[in-house]
Amino acid sequence: MKTVVWLVVLSLYKGNVYKNYGFTVFSDGGLLEDNFDNIAFDNMMWDAGLGLTVKTPLGPARLDYAFQINNKGRRKIQLGVQSLFW
């Protein structure tokens, strides 16, 4: 049986702007390894970003923009409904 280590770190700040509108500032990092010898802070992939949220009857709708700290050329925009951290 093969062992896989999954490590995730998340730092998040959420605030309200006006009525049903809010914002998020976040940074997260992750590591997926099958060898314990490779588990090191330097091997983690990190990203940071900003998000806008709108409270709806289905839960918060959000628009997030993130960039990889390890590779600033990689960026991502994500749309979503509901949130694990709301």
45-77 confidence digits (pLDDT tens): 889 999 999 988 888 899 999 998 888 788 999
- Taking the C-alpha atoms of residue 22 and residue 20, their distance in angstroms, rounded to an integer, is 7
- Please list, in sequence order, all residues whose beta carbon lies within 8 angstroms of the beta carbon of residue 10, skipping any fewer than 6 positions away: 26, 27, 28, 85
70 and 46 in contact (C-beta within 8 Å)?
yes
Q: Above 60 in pLDDT, residue 86?
A: no
What secondary structure does DSSP assign to 6-64, as a single string? EEEEEEEEEEEEETTEEEEEEEEEEEEES-GGG--GGG-EEEEEEEEEEEETTEEEEEE
